[in-house]
Structure 1
Amino acid sequence: MMAHLLIVDDDRSLRQFLDILFSKDGYQVFTAETGKEALKLMEKQPVDVVLADIRMPEMDGLSLLKEIKGRWPQIPVIMITAFASMDTAVSAMREGAFDYVTKPFNLSELRETVARALKKAEKSREGEPKGEQIVQFEGMVAKSAAMRKIFSLLPKVAQAPSNVLITGESGTGKELIARAIHRLSPRKDRPFVVVNCGGIPANLLESELFGYSRGAFTGATREKKGLFAVAHGGTIFLDEIGELPPELQVKLLRVVQQKSFIPLGETQEIEVDVRIISATNRDLEKEVLAGNFREDLYYRLNVISIHVPPLRERREDIPVLVQYFLDKYARQMGKKVEGISAYALKALEEYDFPGNIRELENIIERSVALETGSLILPESLVLSRSKRQEEGDNGQKDFRITLPEKGLDLEELLAKIEMDLLKQALERTGGVKTEAAKLLGLNFRSFRYRLAKYNL
């Protein structure tokens, strides 16, 4: 069925241009010169998406937005604005606008925004489309083929008694996968014990893992049960296994091979039945070749291997995870934050996430806490600068411009470069001037002066 798009703008030439553009794209386009005319049309004609200018005579875009949201709350409304009226656009987002687009238009972004609004309208009428292959599995959610493959593998891994090695960068969710394996396994009713091998000092780690008897060393005033004994019958998760000191690698190898260990200060072995799941953000094969990790232990732990790709290699999971964490923290905080603006989502999709999913979750939690409207806007996001971004910046600083033989107008060239960078900064931050100024290393007053200089 042909989608119905309503364009509301007092600029006749712009209405005609957008009518032609979207008609060619297969939309049934309706146009209105004023807000009142638009409302009369909507009373008679079904509309899927509204594209409306903010500044119009008689009834401005904000007033029209409030009317539409009051009478047809399910219809997405996209606001048309200019950088000069960006504050009004942000107000519109807080009033429930689906998104905003800025003049002059980037046609591909305009089309994409309208398409997403139409998709939202379809979801509200029909529910989640069947084509969306979003999988929720044991407290995890993903859309990427890589993660769905891991999810499908976990029930099989869980039923096997073999040890598992999970590899991947910090923050990719290795512990969540380990917990899922335990919950799906025959050991699910027994303990799941987590040991951070990199977070416990080497001189204490042995006593934590294997326990000790009273008087085993100075300060040992009572007997302590080791974590391997605590995990008996269940699963022990050795996180950051690559940080394990060489002397403990030998003792761990004995536990893996003999299923027994001797607590400090004791002479009698204790037999233990545990499944070992290990995780590391290091390349253990390289550590083995470098002599930092025992080869025999590596092969004992790495019977079944699972590699979790970083978030930057599965960017299709970002929107899914954003909505998952947004819903989670909106419920926890009692906030009515329901979605994220296109500009904010685009910033996240283009970000490298050096901290992976853990970093994304922290960003969304903070954004929900600070946001006062129904949508997360770009100014609520705080993204750290990754090493890759810094390398990219350095590369940009080192660029060369070849001087033509006939020379050039330096002032004109510098003005063009400055104006282009100002526009890029505004586009990247969704028109949030304070953030755009930060991107260019300018204070706000200097940034505002440059905008006025080029009539931006």
Structure 2
Amino acid sequence: MNDALTAYPVFPILIVDDDPYSLQVCEMQLIRKGISHVRTFQDGTELLLYLSDHDASAIVLDLNMPEISGEEILASVIRDYPTIPVIISTAVDDVDTAVRCMKAGAFDYVVKPVSQDRLLTTVTRAIEFQELRRENASLKERVLDNQVKHPEAFSGIITNNPQMHAIFKYIESVATTSQPVLITGETGVGKERIAQVIHQLSGRKGGMVAVNAAGLDETTFSDTLFGHKRGAFTGAERARDGLIEKASNGTLFLDEIGDLSPSSQVKLLRLLQEHEYYPLGSDVPQITNARMIVATNCDLRELQEQGVFRADLYYRLLLHHIHMPPLRERLDDLPLLVDYFLHLASEELGKARPTPPPELLTLLSVYDFPGNIRELQAMVFDAVSQHQGGVLSLCTFKQLIQPDSFGKTRRSKKTTETLENLYASLSRLPSLKEAEDMLIEEALKRTGGNRTMTATLLGVTRQTLHRRINLQKDEG
């Protein structure tokens, strides 16, 4: 039997049949299709003894066996191990019995001689059913428990944000399943870091292989991912394995899937559904046991509605979906992140850690961060690289954060539309003075009353702001 960490699924498929030939055929059919974690039994009592100490993903159970019948075994399994799906295997002239077993609680049935496609489809559905059941149980447990089970896996992600902690608990629930995971979010939010955490928690023995699909045409995508046979195209003097082969027993992380061509999307869908792929120049399918994690900064729903992204692939990926919030939605993490990046930059640049000015967090808190965490890190490293001593200067940050960078077109489409239609629903438009007074009041609120930051936010000089505030007081 293969090691559980290198085999699929995590818990074995148990096949019970008194005919050694039928056992061998059934086992080989599954292994050829990548379902390699299989155990066989010629006697029902051996199965029940095994289940007393081990878990299973599914059971393929022959009905007609001597000594103890399949129906008796089914009754025992349903009574003592009700969460394990049982697939009945029966002769063509005994379908009535199979239907009776379905009513008693069996998951499905197959008719002997069992076709490979029918067996594979039924067993795959049972595996997915069992994984979803375990995942739901895990999610319910974590709803009641506010603590993540493996905080060490998330140590590289600096946050105290409740939304991020909820994502961590969800990741722990889906990490050990074999189903693909879709990670969405803007550029720089840490999608690949999340993929690394999922891989670490999956318990897979192989490594994680990352592929960026941006700009890859169909041929390059296929060659990079699936490899090629010798002579597949001009210049292919020898065969080459693709990255999917290097991800065996591990995880394949495919970034920027929103850029995939329609034909490449078809190949990805087949890979997700059948675990099959064709190296260039080969008409023999290869099987992979790599777990798939995909990511994009595109709105896949919008692409799907436009007909650019396949609907069947889109819905297949939605099974496990993690959306990473942008930095502007987790500004409570700014103090932690700035402190961490100051420490990191100082170590890498060989400098003493500078003291940040009190105004720094106020300045950063009113910025939109289109580049998210990655942009903040670059800002801090740039400032530390130019730092000479004493308190860290705000100049480098102000140079990167120009007044026209605050709250404008870099925001999401929805937010931009809100700004453009700010007064559209009002029956009475405010006067210019009323609008100016409200704008200044809101800007002061966002900057904690810091007039320098408020002036920067509004795109005016500090003197102009001071004069207008005094004018408000005089008129008040």
Distance in 2 between residues matched to 1:157 and 1:173, nearest whole Å: 18
**1:50-69 residue pairs with structure 2 within 5 A?**
none
Distance in 1 between residues matched to 2:392 and 2:366, nearest whole Å: 16
Q: Does 1:383 align with 2:401?
A: yes
Q: Give the counterpart of 2:186 among 164, 169, 173.
A: 169
Q: Give the counterpart of 1:337 among 353, 356, 361.
A: 353
Contact 2:226–2:280 (Cα < 8 Å) also in 1: yes
3-state SS of paired residue (1:159): coil
Identical columns (%): 40
- The aligned amino acid for 1:389 is K
3-state SS of paired residue (2:408): helix
Contact 1:164–1:278 (Cα < 8 Å) also in 2: yes
Q: Does 1:255 align with 2:255?
A: no
Correspondence for 1:244: 260
Shift of 1:338: 4.0
Please tell me the root mean square deviation across aligned C-alpha atoms, in Å.
3.8
Contact 2:189–2:372 (Cα < 8 Å) also in 1: yes
**1:411-430 residue pairs with structure 2 within 5 A?**
none
Correspondence for 2:244: 228
Structure 1, unaligned stretches of length 5 or more?
A: 1-134, 404-416, 452-456
Contact 2:215–2:259 (Cα < 8 Å) also in 1: no
Structure 2, unaligned stretches of length 5 or more?
A: 1-150, 410-415, 423-428, 434-439, 467-476
Contact 2:180–2:272 (Cα < 8 Å) also in 1: no
Distance in 2 between residues matched to 1:219 and 1:314, nearest whole Å: 51
Contact 2:342–2:381 (Cα < 8 Å) also in 1: yes
- The aligned amino acid for 2:296 is T
In structure 2, relative to structure 1, the CA distance for the partners of 1:248 and 1:318 (3 Å cut) is: same
Using structure 1 for the length normalisation, give the TM-score. Answer: 0.56
Contact 1:337–1:371 (Cα < 8 Å) also in 2: no
The number of equivalent residue pairs is 294
Shift of 1:340: 1.6
Contact 2:366–2:406 (Cα < 8 Å) also in 1: no
Deviates more, 1:310-319 or 1:284-293: 284-293
Shift of 1:193: 0.8
Shift of 1:220: 2.1
Shift of 1:389: 2.9
Q: Write out per-residue CA displacement over residues 180-209 of structure 1, whole angstroms, 9 at most, x where no aligned residue.
A: 01011111x312011111143444122111
Contact 1:371–1:380 (Cα < 8 Å) also in 2: no
Correspondence for 1:346: 362
Q: Does 1:316 align with 2:335?
A: no
Contact 2:180–2:292 (Cα < 8 Å) also in 1: yes
Q: Give the counterpart of 2:225 among 209, 228, 246.
A: 209
Q: Write out per-residue CA displacement over residues 199-250 of structure 1, whole angstroms, 9 at most, x where no aligned residue.
A: 4344412211111122211232332211111111110111111111100111
Correspondence for 2:24: none
Contact 1:259–1:273 (Cα < 8 Å) also in 2: yes
**1:20-59 residue pairs with structure 2 within 5 A?**
none
Q: Give the counterpart of 2:290 among 259, 274, 279.
A: 274
Contact 1:210–1:228 (Cα < 8 Å) also in 2: yes
Correspondence for 1:297: 313
Correspondence for 2:101: none
* Runs of at least 4 residues off by over 4 Å: 390-396, 399-403, 426-431
Contact 1:246–1:293 (Cα < 8 Å) also in 2: yes
Contact 2:226–2:278 (Cα < 8 Å) also in 1: yes
3-state SS of paired residue (1:277): strand
- The aligned amino acid for 2:206 is R
Contact 1:141–1:321 (Cα < 8 Å) also in 2: yes
Shift of 1:162: 1.7
- The aligned amino acid for 1:324 is Y
Q: Write out per-residue CA displacement over residues 14-51 of structure 1, whole angstroms, 9 at most, x where no aligned residue.
A: xxxxxxxxxxxxxxxxxxxxxxxxxxxxxxxxxxxxxx
Shift of 1:281: 1.5
Correspondence for 1:363: 379
